[in-house]
């Protein structure tokens, strides 16, 4: 069984591309949620090894979701990687300050995304 990733992304096209990339190419086990609220409800049962969160989402942004999810029992030590089109240095620095391992810039390359994630985790 591969790494279990909780992926939160509101854009269905991006969800589909990421799922194909991470499951088919990467061999990861993926649970996708379309909102932060759904992720908060599903996270505990799924027991992910990694959070992969979109930053800009309606209702609850990825950074707010991360702050809320990491105070849940057994979730505080799970690493997070964010995905965003707004990956300017100050945005990346702010996310890393929250505890993110790194930031993947959108649009991402589905062929290299699994390796990119493995590389970030290896650091």
Q: How many residues does the chain have?
A: 123
CATH of 36-122, one of 3.30.1340.30, 3.40.50.2300, 3.40.50.11890, 3.30.70.360: 3.40.50.2300
Which pLDDT tens digit goes with each residue over 28-76?
999 999 999 999 999 999 999 999 999 999 999 999 999 999 999 999 9
Can you tell me whether residue 73 is helix, strand or coil? coil
**Model's pTM, two decimal places?**
0.96
Of the pLDDT bands very low, low, confident and very high (cuts 50, 70, 90), residue 1 is low
Q: Which of 59, 58, 80, 82 is nearest to 69 (CA)?
A: 80
Burial bucket for residue 104 (CB in 10 Å: 0-12, 13-18, 19+): middle
Q: Which residues touch 37 (CB under 8 Å, ≥6 apart)?
A: 59, 60
For the chain, what are the domain ranges?
36-122
């Amino acid at each position: 069984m591969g790494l279990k990733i909780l992926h939160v992304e509101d854009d269905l096209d991006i969800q589909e591309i990421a799922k194909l990339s991470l499951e088919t190419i990467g061999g990861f086990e993926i649970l996708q949620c379309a909102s932060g609220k759904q992720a908060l409800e599903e996270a505990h049962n799924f027991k992910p090894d990694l959070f992969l969160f979109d930053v800009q989402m309606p209702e609850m942004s990825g950074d707010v979701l991360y702050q809320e999810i990491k105070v849940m029992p057994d979730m505080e030590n799970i690493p997070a990687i964010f995905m965003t089109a707004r990956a300017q240095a100050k945005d990346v620095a702010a996310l890393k300050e929250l505890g993110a391992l790194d930031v993947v810039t959108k649009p991402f390359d589905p062929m290299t995304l699994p390796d990119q994630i493995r590389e970030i985790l290896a650091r």
